[in-house]
Structure 1
Amino acid sequence: ACLKVAGDYIPALGFFAVLFGDDSAREDYHDYYRSLLELDQPSARNIAVRYCDKNGLEPTFDDVLVPAVVLAGEERAENHISEQNQSLVFETTATLVKELGDRFNKPRFRGRLRIVGIAPPGEAHSLGLTMLLELLRRTGIAANFFGMDKSAAEICAFVNEYAPDMVFVSCTTTECMPAAIELVRTLMVESPHLTIIGGGPGALLHQAELLEAGATEICGSRGEVRHAVRLYALRRSVSRSSQIKNVRPLPDTRTATASKVA
């Protein structure tokens, strides 16, 4: 299926309407973009890798990958590039998100949070969501993306089996909202205590419906997501500490036995 144009990529790009932190032009993303238009994917990859090695993962997302995808959307909307050109920019960038994320060591902590990202049926793309999950993985969180083009039944079955602490639902376009709302409602019926975070332009436009269906929170920025994750981790830690304090210690049977023998 062909990629949708301006409406899908320009306003917000993907999950959570905020992957830009700086609107200033950067030569790096222009070089990356130009290399892809010239069908030189190895050169584009090298530009992204070099920038990542020098500046880090998140700046590479914000300064190179996202601007290139947005520029492709704008130029396609004005018919300056072909649909194939736009698809190449998007698909190469989506592949690089995972590749660049894998270049960094992910700390593994005992009892770490488990987060799964899902795209409801009809969702346009998941680029913003996969970037977010890669950034969270670097902090030690077990963050995984279930994949695109999955049915509601497949998504619910996976969530039940994986048993995550939190679920992120990507809602880029309004077209996917009926399916997203129904998916959230079904997930809450099967897992009433599940924490579901929605994000993306569609979710922001339909916050009330998603919250009524059972979503815990709708976030409009990467910072809001991180804040929600930190709060969840803090509450879970406090809850576990309280449970440990309330557990009565078992009697020391060895001392009792020794007393009887004496």
Structure 2
Amino acid sequence: EPWLYGKGTGVSAVAVLVAAVFWTWLWGIVGLLLATPLTVCLLVIGKHVPRLSFLHVLLGNEPVFEPTRRVYQRLLAGDQEEAAELFEDEIQSRPLVEVYDTLLIPALALAETDWHRGELDDGRHNFALQSLKEMIHDSGEGRQELHANDGIDNGNSPRPCILCLPARDEADEIAGMMLAQLLATGECLVQSVSYTVSAGELVDLVERRKPDVVCISATPPAAVMHARHLCNQVRGRFPDVPVVVGLWNAQGDLSKARTRIGGAETTHVVATLAEAQEQVRLLIEPLSRRSDGLALL
């Protein structure tokens, strides 16, 4: 009965049970009859009066944290298993790109921001990053990237080639891994590069691979600065190669970021993996049609 009432009113089953006991003790049978309506009134007050918001948390049946915060909180607590379970629950009902954009990318951005502010120590920061890496590999899409990397070394494949470069650090690499998984559909060759490779070596890699599209992955809090530095180096040597700059989890208008990075026609700035996926599709679609035509000949 408490569960049934709670489900219909938005009050947790425990709150219904505790309220019934309290109001019955206070007013007898009248209190028992009024317990649920009074509790719902307190819940509504807590929802709309900021100073009493704790009532909504205590009495409501909604999760205290949104999924992104819950994943991040579990990582901070060192509970990789529960964080992975939350991630797996989400990918059962939503597309992988949407889960990455709304769950893992924000959690990654929170970890980086807190670490740069000094609010997160190195141990927990490294644990969060490694856990996110394992969750990505275990998602099942990693096998596509491994197959897509076959034959990318020679730079002469008939299929379009895409390089995902980290702007600077490991978090950028992890976001690049997510993008590489999403792009590795078999129609193109995709490679995600490690953050341990220096900027100069990344540019040399572009020269060897001869990619059709270069994707630069950058996470907060210094995403624009790091992305601009690497983007300028790539454009300086390969001005005709399209560059997609991912400023992951960027908030608000991207016009200022586009101005700082540069307004070259071959440079495209996006804020989500879904936008990056669509932009890359538009860039390689003519190349894919051309390679299909050559194959038929």
Q: Classify the TM-score, shorter chain.
A: 0.5 to 0.7
* Aligned-partner Cα distance in 2 for 1:177–1:68: 19
Shift of 1:137: 1.6
Query: Between the two proteins, what is the percent identity of the paired residues?
Result: 19
When residues 162 and 29 of structure 1 are mapped into structure 2, their CA distance, relative to the original with a 3 A threshold, is same
Amino acid at match of 1:58: V
Paired position in structure 1 for 2:176: 129
Structure 2 unaligned residues grouped into runs of 5+: 1-62, 149-156
* Aligned-partner Cα distance in 2 for 1:30–1:175: 21
Amino acid at match of 2:282: L
Shift of 1:181: 3.8
Is 1:42 aligned to 2:89, yes or no? Answer: no
CA-atom RMSD, angstroms? 4.4
When residues 207 and 47 of structure 1 are mapped into structure 2, their CA distance, relative to the original with a 3 A threshold, is closer
Paired position in structure 1 for 2:199: 152
Shift of 1:167: 0.2
Is 1:90 aligned to 2:129, yes or no? Answer: yes
Contact 2:245–2:268 (8 Å) recurs in 1: yes
Shift of 1:198: 1.5
TM-score (norm 2): 0.55
* Aligned-partner Cα distance in 2 for 1:70–1:186: 25
- Which has the higher Rg, Structure 1 or Structure 2? 2
Paired position in structure 1 for 2:234: 187
TM-score (norm 1): 0.61
2:213 is aligned, of 121, 143, 166, to 166
Structure having the higher helix fraction is 2
Amino acid at match of 1:136: L
Paired position in structure 2 for 1:118: 165
SS in 1 for 2:208: helix
* Aligned-partner Cα distance in 1 for 2:230–2:106: 31
Superposed CA deviations along residues 58-101 of structure 1, whole A, max 9, x for unmatched, are 34424543454456578879998756434422331133223324
* Aligned-partner Cα distance in 2 for 1:89–1:135: 22
> Which structure is higher in RCO with an 8 Å CA cutoff and minimum separation 6?
1
Tell me which moved more, 86-95 or 156-165: 86-95
Amino acid at match of 1:61: Y
Paired position in structure 1 for 2:284: 233
Contact 1:188–1:194 (8 Å) recurs in 2: yes
* Aligned-partner Cα distance in 2 for 1:143–1:193: 19
Is 1:61 aligned to 2:108, yes or no? Answer: no
SS in 1 for 2:204: helix
Shift of 1:118: 0.9
Structure 1 unaligned residues grouped into runs of 5+: 1-23, 248-262
Is 1:207 aligned to 2:254, yes or no? Answer: no
Amino acid at match of 2:131: T
Q: How many residues align?
A: 223
* Aligned-partner Cα distance in 1 for 2:261–2:117: 34
Superposed CA deviations along residues 207-242 of structure 1, whole A, max 9, x for unmatched, are 235335675322234343233222222332465689
Contact 1:188–1:214 (8 Å) recurs in 2: no
Paired position in structure 2 for 1:196: 243
Amino acid at match of 2:191: N
Amino acid at match of 1:135: L
Superposed CA deviations along residues 85-127 of structure 1, whole A, max 9, x for unmatched, are 344223311332233244665787x943321111234686344
1:142 is aligned, of 189, 202, 214, to 189
Shift of 1:55: 4.4
